[in-house]
Structure 1
Amino acid sequence: MKRPNIFCHMTMSLNGKIVGNYHQAKNAGDAGKLFYHAAFEPGGAFDPNEGWLSGRKTTDDNFTFYRHPDLDLSAARVPDGDFIVPNTHPKYYFSIDPHGRLGWQSNQLQYNDTTATVVEVLTNQASNAYKAFLRQKQISYVIAGDTTLDAPLAISKLTTAFHLHRIMLGGGGVLNWSFIKQGLCDEVSIVLIPGVDGDSQSPAIFQPLTSDDPERLVNFTLKSATPVGNTLWLRYLVDHD
């Protein structure tokens, strides 16, 4: 399968969590600056790349804020297949949204100084009304899977449509694990925030589902461990069997 280099790049608490108020730790600023520079600024460790990919909950938490899409339930049937709009920015934001639930206001988003063009990854569970909504917003989408995401197909389609060479995988934990276990991730980059909170329910960087094989093992090879101010930057290569 033709695909880009995919690196999972995350901030993480000292006890392995990726969500929580530990981000407010007094020395978290070093981690935030390092995280952003590495993947989003010129001269960073992962520059150049064509953008990043995240799951629906991560997208709602950071960009769409749980708004409901403005759907026209009587919209005319849209053509079958994918819908690709020519890009207007050098970065893409690929959102895994199997059922078509995200309430986008625009086909672009802003993350710090980075402007990105939105691309949705749907399954056949997404309604005609939602696909019509995306078309009206001029938001590209690809369809990968019938009832659940077919990640290899999604990556293959995105690579062809958007000429991808390297992209970032940016959570959540379920999506990260899904890509890791399917051999779709080449490197894991962890920026440790020197803090821990008491939330026992927050997800880990890799979050298997109850249906996943508990005996599944993935091995990693340390590439580098770099102290930066009050944080530690860990980079691991994923050992593909």
Structure 2
Amino acid sequence: MKPYVICHMVSSLDGGLHPSRWTGSPDGKLGDWSALYQSCHERLEGDAWMVGRVTMAELSKGSPHPPHEHGKMERPFHFANRKAANFAIAVDTSGKLHFTGNEIDGDHIVVLLGSDVADSHLAELAGDGISYIVSAQAQPDLSVMLETLERELGIKRLLLEGGAGINGSFLAAGLVDEISLIIAPVLDGRAASQSIVEYGEAGLAGKVQLSLKSCEPLAHGAIYLRYAVAPS
């Protein structure tokens, strides 16, 4: 079994993901979009939230600090805390993330890694009290990783929260059950504006179909959309 996966995002009307680059709104300001996002995040009642490497790098703030000595590290997984109330999960295929602690906002950190990750990096994570799962392949099998999270940590409901690349990979693999999207009444306007989902040149045509579950007006002129996701 895998967790029920909800892709939860906030964007401008034209799909921009970075509020600092958005136009202003007479109905709200920069901090309002973050507050609305967090409010809906809490309403979704996830056991865990997951982001990709680039997004987690903005939160982790660490620098490399591998131990001088270490033995052979545990694979395929090491769990420093199986009983956490909530989990913060990062997909970091190559082992480039470094942390200053084992929690983010009180949520225990779990890192999902590819098979090529060095034991020195695993030793760094374990020394920091961080949990990890190492894939059998260089590119992690996301389905197997989700099943491991459910089986080993009891995660039943997971919020997938970007960036666009990891959202696209999960959708293409048929691993997303629902999309939760807040649209703020603002514009980004850049020609290269990143969307909430990206899946290379092939895109997602023919892979998924969406069915509207609900449409709700929020404060400050925002709209909250929820869609069920099914294979196409």
TM-score with structure 2 length normalisation? 0.90
- Taking the aligned partners of 1:53 and 1:214, their CA distance within structure 2 comes to 21
The residue identity in structure 1 corresponding to 2:161 is G
After TM superposition, the structure 1 stretch with the greater mean CA deviation from structure 2, 231-240 or 201-210, is: 201-210
User: 1:174 maps to what in 2?
Assistant: 165
> Residue 81 of structure 1: CA displacement?
2.2
Question: SS state of the match for residue 239, structure 1?
Answer: strand
Is 2:54 aligned against 1:57?
Answer: yes
Counterpart of 2:184 (choices 193, 199, 218) is 193
- Taking the aligned partners of 1:23 and 1:73, their CA distance within structure 2 comes to 45
CA contact (8 A) 1:99 1:122 kept: yes
RMSD (CA atoms): 2.0
User: Are the structure 2 counterparts of residues 10 and 3 from structure 1 closer, same or farther at C-alpha, using a change threshold of 3 Å?
Assistant: same
CA contact (8 A) 1:56 1:97 kept: yes
After TM superposition, the structure 1 stretch with the greater mean CA deviation from structure 2, 217-226 or 185-194, is: 217-226
For structure 2, the residue ranges without an aligned partner over 5 or more in a row are none
User: Are the structure 2 counterparts of residues 145 and 191 from structure 1 closer, same or farther at C-alpha, using a change threshold of 3 Å?
Assistant: farther
- Taking the aligned partners of 1:123 and 1:35, their CA distance within structure 2 comes to 30
1:52-106 CA distances to partner (integer Å, 9 max, x unpaired)? 0110001012x124x4321246532223321012246311001101111111111
After TM superposition, the structure 1 stretch with the greater mean CA deviation from structure 2, 21-30 or 141-150, is: 21-30
- Taking the aligned partners of 1:209 and 1:154, their CA distance within structure 2 comes to 22
Counterpart of 1:36 (choices 20, 31, 38) is 38
User: 2:218 maps to what in 1?
Assistant: 228
The residue identity in structure 1 corresponding to 2:217 is P
The residue identity in structure 2 corresponding to 1:193 is A
> Residue 25 of structure 1: CA displacement?
3.0
> Residue 30 of structure 1: CA displacement?
4.3
User: Are the structure 2 counterparts of residues 175 and 12 from structure 1 closer, same or farther at C-alpha, using a change threshold of 3 Å?
Assistant: same
- Taking the aligned partners of 1:60 and 1:181, their CA distance within structure 2 comes to 24
For structure 1, the residue ranges without an aligned partner over 5 or more in a row are none
User: 1:133 maps to what in 2?
Assistant: 124
Question: SS state of the match for residue 179, structure 1?
Answer: helix
1:14-55 CA distances to partner (integer Å, 9 max, x unpaired)? 001223524573424543322211222xxx2x12x2110110
User: 1:9 maps to what in 2?
Assistant: 8
Aligned length: 228
The residue identity in structure 2 corresponding to 1:51 is A
- Taking the aligned partners of 1:23 and 1:8, their CA distance within structure 2 comes to 22
- Taking the aligned partners of 2:129 and 2:178, their CA distance within structure 1 comes to 32
TM-score with structure 1 length normalisation? 0.87
> Residue 145 of structure 1: CA displacement?
4.1
CA contact (8 A) 1:31 1:192 kept: no
Matched residues, percent identical? Answer: 24
- Residue pairs, 1:18-167, within 5 angstroms: 18-22=17-21, 25-26=24-25, 27-28=28-29, 29-40=31-42, 44=43, 46-47=44-45, 49-61=46-58, 63-65=59-61, 67-72=62-67, 74-87=69-82, 89-110=84-105, 115-167=106-158
